[in-house]
Amino acid sequence: MSRKKIAASSVFLGITLSAQAYADFLSDSKATLGMRNFYFNNDNRDGTAAPSKTEEWAQGFMLGFKSGYTDGMVGFGVDGLGLLGVTLDSGKGRHVGSTMMPSDSDNRAVDEWSRVGLTGKVKMSKTELRYGTLIPKLPILVANDGRVLPQTFEGGQITSSEFKGLTLTGGRIEHATGRGSSDQTGLAVAGGTRESNQFDFAGGDWSVTKDLTAQYYYANLDNYYTQHFFGLIHTLALSDNQSLKTDLRYFKTDSSGANSSGTSGYRINGYTKNGDGEIDNRTWSAALIYTLGGHAITAGYQSVSDGSNFTQLNQGSLIDKGAGGASLYLYTDRLIQTFTRAGERTAFGQYAYDFAALGVPGLKGSVMYLSGDNIKTTSGDNQKEWERDISLDYVLQSGALKGVGFGWRNGKSNSEAARNVDQNRVFVSYSIPLL
């Protein structure tokens, strides 16, 4: 976060906290220290491009503070976030290509990296305005949290629940900080090397009934794209421990500004219909999730149109190497692949089990398989790829280490459009309440 914005947030806080309001501000405040120990191993099993293998180990610390609100019709508050990453094991040959931690001038991993974020907030009735550091989780923008430290954004966001069953959200994002970086960048897409500093969004979630939710979101990344999202989620209760969930998603994404004119630096990478880097995509998916006790079975299908790859914010092509790493609101955004190439059609299935049903609370596991075909790339058509992912998590339920979580992720991908990969992630996480 820039010094200018930190100073502005500090002034904002000083003005809003009168002596009479301290009690409410502090009594509802919460502070936690989160810790994440993360081992990452990505083995590219073919191809001549570097790296052949990325292998690293790091420790992350996340100090979060959330204040209450001052008393009165309009309440004021402030949130703070301090992030520190410490490299435990890496090397020049095993760090190349990594977006888990920043690089030094010799392309080795730095010993440590950090950043601080402040967020001023104002609340009136059931409407809240936040400005500063944001970690959004919206269909049109999902902050990535797949490594040691989370990706963060800078901007303003307003959320309102004034109307029963309807939550409205809107705002503007201006900067991003990657999961493996201490520095802000502007905004871009995969392949874009020119920065935009204006991502406007608005939308809402409407609970039509207790079992049916309808969604619509609009987003515009200046000089890159305009996107519309429509979603429908329905849960059918079949019995006390049995249900069928239907999840429908549709994205319509078109070029905007400089991307429409094919201006150098604003082009998307990968295949485009006219070879001009122009964004033109329609992506839809349908998923059914059947649950019975501890069992959950997911079956789904996703279709990506052949005008261009599916597109959302991605800073990976900018100069800051640590800016890479993005998440998508898609079932196919997996450990290795995203199955979002132009023309790609993907069938996927997952089996998950919660071992609490067998008397082992805190233990969960899943296996997922995805198969995509009809891929169009700059080197050929009708290419195929598949991925198999295994997930296992356990959280200690008692004793001195209660709340400590252990996780393992294993992915294997074979692709005609990319390199074949084996990937493992092992992590231990723990959160300590301070207030």
Q: What is the CATH number of the domain that holds 358?
A: 2.40.160.10
18: pLDDT strictly greater than 60: no
C-alpha–C-alpha distance, residues 329 and 318, integer Å: 22
What does the mean pLDDT of the chain come to?
92
Domain around 49: 3-433
- SS3 assignment, position 266: coil
- SS3 assignment, position 7: helix
pLDDT tens-digit profile of 88-137?
998 767 787 778 888 887 888 899 999 999 999 999 999 999 999 999 99
Block residue for tokens 């549709």: 250
Nearest CA-CA partner of 159 in 170, 150, 148: 170
The secondary structure of 305-333 as a DSSP string is -SSB-------TTSS-GGG---B-SSTT-
CA 402 to chain centre: 27
| Paired sense of beta strands 212-221 and 242-255, if any | unpaired
Give the Å distances, CA to CA, from 206 to 106, 217, 412.
Answer: 51, 12, 38
What is the number of residues in the chain? 435
C-alpha–C-alpha distance, residues 276 and 297, integer Å: 41
Token digits for 237?
């209760």
Residue 280 one-letter amino acid: D
C-alpha–C-alpha distance, residues 305 and 295, integer Å: 33
Token digits for 53?
């293998």
pLDDT value for 320: 80
The answer, as to whether pTM is greater than 0.85, is: yes
C-alpha–C-alpha distance, residues 415 and 399, integer Å: 45
Q: Determine the average pLDDT of the residues in 393-412.
A: 97
DSSP class of 259: G
Q: Determine the average pLDDT of the residues in 13-19.
A: 50
Nearest CA-CA partner of 429 in 397, 400, 398, 395: 395
Task: Please count the structural domains in the chain.
Answer: 1
pLDDT tens-digit profile of 141-178?
999 999 999 999 999 999 999 999 999 999 999 999 99
